[in-house]
């Protein structure tokens, strides 16, 4: 008889995946909302962690703080094409658009069109999200190249803490240390992959025999000018 039931291990795996995705958002998704003229507050899905980008009919909408909003829009009823938005300071999983939209825009139901030519006709939000373990295509899970090793250490660290035949505090501390170690490595890796600028231009050629780059071109001796004999006194 196994020490831990499969349902228990699956439950701990889901907890670990949600914890990592919340601490280091890495699952990108998009959605399209229906815009109603005169309405400025809209509710996002509950699995939205943070917003990456918002476009209103192809125009970028920029984030703004409440302080900037109070200083710039005291009445709060300006209308027109939205230039700014506030996220999660209005209500849970809600955004507020400024100025208030003055037209109706239908939502895009087809997921593939959220990345296609219909961007200039829709209101699209790109965001980091929580995992969806029921997704059969594994689109909404943390990256596969880190998932198995990371979640294994998390599940074992939690499972050995549970009271019963499998309790082992020493083993729990060991796997917790392994989890913290792998988590730090994978967070740094994701930061490099997502945020580090690409080195497109070589700006420091240290391996070249002439130092910092190719030398200046040199003409043949016969092309330097007319040679003369050295004058001797």
pLDDT in tens, 149-190: 999 999 999 999 988 888 899 999 999 999 999 999 999 998
Q: What is the pLDDT at residue 133?
A: 78
Report, as an integer, the average pLDDT of 199-205: 55
pLDDT for residue 137 is more than 80: no
Question: What gap in Å lies between CA 22 and CA 230, rounded to an integer?
Answer: 81
Regarding whether 187 and 104 lie in a shared domain, the answer is no
Regarding whether 91 and 35 lie in a shared domain, the answer is yes
- Residue indicated by tokens 């890796």: 189
Q: Give the Cβ contact number of residue 103 at 10 Å.
A: 11
For 148, the domain range is 6-22+141-193
Q: What is the pLDDT at residue 64?
A: 85
| Domain-embedded: residue 91 | yes
Regarding whether 61 and 154 lie in a shared domain, the answer is no
Of 97, 64, 66, 95, residue with least CA distance to 80: 97
How many domains would you assign to the chain?
2
Question: What gap in Å lies between CA 120 and CA 152, rounded to an integer?
Answer: 43
Q: What is the pLDDT at residue 79?
A: 83
| Domain-embedded: residue 135 | no
pLDDT tens digit sequence for 220-231: 666 656 656 666
Regarding whether 99 and 40 lie in a shared domain, the answer is yes
| Domain-embedded: residue 81 | yes
Strand ranges inside the chain, DSSP E: 28-32, 41-43, 48-56, 59-63, 84-87, 94-98, 123-129
- Stated pTM of the model: 0.73
Average pLDDT value over all residues in the chain: 82
pLDDT tens digit sequence for 77-101: 778 889 889 886 666 788 989 889 9
| Domain-embedded: residue 204 | no
């Amino acid at each position: 008889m196994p020490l831990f039931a499969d349902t228990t291990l699956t439950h701990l795996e889901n907890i670990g995946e949600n914890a990592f995705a919340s601490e280091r958002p890495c699952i990108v998704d998009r959605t399209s909302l229906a815009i109603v003229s005169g309405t400025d507050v809209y509710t996002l899905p509950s699995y939205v962690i943070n917003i990456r980008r918002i476009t209103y009919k192809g125009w970028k909408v920029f984030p703004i703080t409440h302080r900037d909003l109070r200083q710039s829009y005291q009445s709060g009823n300006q209308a027109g094409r939205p230039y700014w938005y506030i996220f999660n300071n209005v209500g849970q999983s809600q955004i507020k658009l400024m100025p208030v939209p003055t037209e109706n825009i239908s939502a895009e139901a087809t997921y593939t069109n959220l990345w296609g030519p219909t961007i200039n006709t829709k209101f699209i939000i790109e965001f980091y999200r929580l995992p969806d373990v029921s997704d059969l295509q594994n689109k909404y899970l943390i990256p596969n190249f880190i998932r198995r090793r990371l979640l294994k250490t998390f599940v074992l660290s939690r499972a050995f803490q549970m009271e019963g035949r499998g309790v082992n505090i020493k083993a729990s501390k060991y796997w917790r240390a392994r989890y913290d170690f792998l988590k730090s490595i994978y967070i740094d890796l994701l930061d490099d992959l997502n945020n580090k600028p690409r080195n497109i231009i070589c700006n420091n050629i240290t391996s070249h025999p002439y130092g910092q780059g190719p030398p200046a071109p040199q003409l043949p001796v016969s092309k330097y000018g007319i040679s003369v004999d050295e004058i001797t006194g």
